[in-house]
Amino acid sequence: MFRCVFDTNSVVSAALFADSVPARALMLALRLGVVLMSQDLADELADVLARPRFIRYSSLQARKTLLDNLMQQTEWMEVTQQIHACRDPDDDKILELAVNGEADYIVTGDDDLLVMKPFRRIDIVTPAEFLAIASAIDQ
């Protein structure tokens, strides 16, 4: 069973577009492995998904419900080891969660994270790459 971290943009894309590659990757990850969550990431997801500009895709209540469901399906990790390695310091929380949670994969479309692959033996992949990996496992 694999352990993975989905970054904010991947989760937001999955939440707003149910048939998207990030949505399919996240659903497969939840079914076949463990998706890790920290309080910092959960707070950021709640903040981003509450933004009014997303109303054209789904109601605020629908986004909150989706986020609540996701939070119940993830494994929560306390981040005790701080990391300052990414050229975008805002992305360090993803690296921290992955390292503290002993993740196998970070799933992201963020170039600031993708250029770091691998990071401490954690493979950093796009949602499409992860979908291919997880689909092969699901065979």
- Strand 34-37, strand 105-107: pairing: unpaired
120 confidence band (pLDDT: 50, 70, 90): very high
Provide the greatest CA pair distance for the chain: 40
Q: d(Cα 53, Cα 41) in Å, to the nearest integer?
A: 20
Q: d(Cα 47, Cα 69) in Å, to the nearest integer?
A: 16
What's the whole-model pTM score?
Answer: 0.95
4 confidence band (pLDDT: 50, 70, 90): very high
CATH number (domain holding residue 50): 3.40.50.1010
Residue-number span of the structural domain to which 124 is assigned? 3-137
Q: Which residues pair with 68 in a beta bridge?
A: none
Residue 1 clears pLDDT 90, i.e. is over it: no
* Total domains present in the chain: 1
Q: H or E element: which one contains 113?
A: helix 111-114
